[in-house]
Amino acid sequence: MSRARHIGWVFPPITTLPPGEDLIAAGADLEPETLLAAYQAGYFPMPLNRRKIGWFSPDPRGVFRAGDLRVYKSLRRSLKRYEVTTNTAFEEVITACADPGRPYGWIDRRITDAYIRLHHLGYAHSVEAWDDDGLAGGLYGIRIGGFFAGESMFHRRTDASKVALVHLVEGLGLESDPGRLLDVQWMTPHLASLGCRVIDRPDYWRRLLDGLERPPTDFFQPPSPARSAGRETGPQ
């Protein structure tokens, strides 16, 4: 990664990277322009320590494409159990995802503040699943065009995060447009049970470019005025 005069940080094309390596670079910042440039180049950030940010481009990469989502019988029942909203509790969702008590927690204050800022600019979005006891689960990520980068998800009740993911796949229009892409970074058993696939870096790059060119759907409502009073929102 290098610093370009007047235009911020430049991320090397992922098609030039060595296969099989996930951590590509370290440093830079978490300004909105840097983050948006990174996602459009195939990278995402994770803290390496208290001072340094790492930039990752996994190979292979976990994704959902058209037709990949599997909704099994018990999950269909769970879909009836929760009310699902978007962008009504972004800060609560990212705070829950950042709970230091979670195994392998990686979301620190720098990440939280940066993505809240992107939320108010209209690029970071949340999906929430609610029941009678309140926020039961959810997820958040970055949307640019027909591309969505899922960052983290959490649940407090059974299947709540999976319900949020099902609504996300449907709301992004993945099932009707093969050019759209949901990036989930790494395959996990949790995601594999729902149909997540892994693809190599060249395939990911092609699909990323296709997704970025697609227009966004109207799935996400604007950030709640009650939670973003006095702040401008960007493109939805």
User: What token pair was written down for 93?
Assistant: 């969702």
Q: What are phi and psi of 27, to 5 degrees?
A: 115, -145
- Cis peptide upstream of residue 60 (ω within 30 degrees of 0): yes
- What average pLDDT does the chain have? 91
What are the structural domains, with CATH classification, of the chain? 2-59 (3.30.70), 63-213 (3.40.630.70)
Question: CB of 110 within 8 A of CB of 53?
Answer: yes
Average of per-residue pLDDT across 203-229? 84
CA quadruple 16, 40, 197, 178: dihedral sign = negative
Query: Per-residue pLDDT tens for 79-109?
Result: 999 999 999 999 999 999 999 887 777 899 9
Output the pTM of the full model. Answer: 0.90
